[in-house]
Amino acid sequence: MQKKVKEFVKAHWGELLDLTCQLIRARTENPPGRESLAARVVEDYFKSLHIPYTLYEKEPERTNIVAWIGPHAQPKVTSLLTACHLDVVPAGDGWEKDPFDPFVKNGRIYGRGATDNKGQMAACMVLARFLKENESQLQGEFIVVGAADEERSSRLGLEYLLEECNLKADYAIIPDVSYGMRKIDVAEKGALFLEITSHGKQAHGSRPEEGINAIWNMTDLLQELKPLPFKCTSHRLFTPPTLNLGTIQGGAARNIVPGKCKAGIDIRYLPGESKEEILERVRGIIQRVEKKNPQAHFELEVASHLEPSYVDEHNPLVGLLQRHTETVLGTRPEIIGLSGATVTKQLLKKGITAVGFGPGSEKEAHVANESIEVQQLADFVEIMALACMELLGKKT
């Protein structure tokens, strides 16, 4: 089987490259998304191969595509899902060339989404072709998803598919963990995003004593929040918990005392701690600052929250991926926990055994001149094809 897979990947190298470039050209910056542009590329490819698929949209042009190979939706059939996302973050500044006009240089594809997550989507499309051509050897079902809205919470993407479209599977591999297939993500920190509003009183900048400066008061609070204590500070799979001040907005002009200031806080915390415990400490700090300065008044809001997640590291997917990665690359991926969040959280919540594993570099996502090594995409197809045939293939 390994020889067959290797020959297939070699024969379809150009197709893998072309599909990645087509997906990058589909400008799906989120916001606004318009994942329909990339979904059309995926749809045309699957249609040409007679791979059955369905399109799902919770909102116009926020398209998800779900395709399957093997016995579909039959009871007692093992199913493996792989989900990539079709949206990308805004291009931003600092690009040497048009971020949506991909090019290849020194074996790497450059363009927004190359490594997050369109290269992986192209690889899963080529993988789907291999499995379709060998469908007679499958007794299990392979499901491939091109999802919307991953960069902005997945409300219109995988969450929608799981909650409203009856998407189900036994196992899932999410290629949105870019460690060059050297690591397998089995756990993720909790992600608690807070918005704090400082309420003051607007006045003329030449008479600040007549107002209440919301920005100064916010500054005092942020200094108190910066060393926020955590109950759980270490875990063998994780780096320590973190607090990041991500945004701060306030004031209308230099000569106006600002009456309002907003700050966005990103807290990543470890298993063993709860959202409620963290919020209690944040509220305690707010009360302390308000008591010290009676003119200070703050409002706390939870903008979003994802619980820490963990799946048994001895689950079948881990051994499967480790064995076949070692066969293809000669290295055995290590088990890790992530500080960031992937859609494995939503899958685990639905009882689907899910891990993160894929090609690319963790330093390439969301940066200018984003790129991915073509060889890694090809290696990923080879590893996944071998893993799928072992998990889903007919037993002899």
Give ∠ CA 198-199-202 in degrees, rounded to 5.
125
d(CA 382, CA 391): 14
Place of tokens 């087509």: 22
Tokens of 47: 């249609």
For 144-192, what is each residue's pLDDT tens digit? 999 999 998 899 999 999 999 999 999 999 999 779 999 999 999 999 9
- Mean pLDDT of all residues in 210-234: 97
Query: What percentage of the chain exceeds 90 in pLDDT?
Result: 95
Task: Please count the other Cβ atoms lying within 10 Å of the Cβ belonging to residue 320.
Answer: 22
What pLDDT, on the 0 to 100 scale, is given for residue 76?
80
First to last CA, the chain: 13
Distances (CA, A) of 157 to 169, 224, 306: 16, 37, 16
Judge if pTM exceeds 0.85: yes
Place of tokens 């048009």: 98
The interaxial angle of helices 275-292 and 214-225, nearest 10 deg, is 130
For 292-331, what is each residue's pLDDT tens digit? 999 999 999 999 998 999 999 999 999 999 999 999 999 9
Place of tokens 């990308």: 88
CA 8 to chain CA centroid, Å, is: 29
Is the confidence at residue 73, as pLDDT, over 80? no
Q: How many CA atoms lie within 13 A of 71 on its CB side?
A: 13
d(CA 309, CA 339): 11
224: phi then psi, degrees, rounded to nearest 5: -75, -35
Q: Which helix (H) or strand (E) holds 215?
A: helix 214-225
Tokens of 294: 């009676």
Q: Quick check: 157 and 318 in contact, CB under 8 A?
A: no
- Residues linked to residue 396 through DSSP beta bridges, in sequence order: none
What pLDDT, on the 0 to 100 scale, is given for residue 294?
97
**362 falls in which pLDDT band (50, 70, 90)?**
confident
d(CA 309, CA 270): 9
**6 falls in which pLDDT band (50, 70, 90)?**
very high
- Indicate the range of 171-180, 282-291, 384-393 predicted with least confidence: 171-180
Cβ contacts of residue 123 below 8 Å, gap of 6+?
16, 175, 359, 377, 378, 380, 381, 384
**369 falls in which pLDDT band (50, 70, 90)?**
very high
Average pLDDT, the chain: 96
- DSSP-derived secondary structure for 1-68: -HHHHHHHHHHTHHHHHHHHHHHHHS--BTTT--THHHHHHHHHHHHHTT--EEEEESSTT-EEEEEE
What's the CATH fold of domain 2-188+308-392? Aminopeptidase (3.40.630)
- Mean pLDDT of all residues in 114-127: 97
Tokens of 267: 């807290």
The interaxial angle of helices 36-48 and 13-25, nearest 10 deg, is 150
Domain ranges across the chain = 2-188+308-392, 190-306
What's the CATH fold of domain 190-306? Alpha-Beta Plaits (3.30.70)
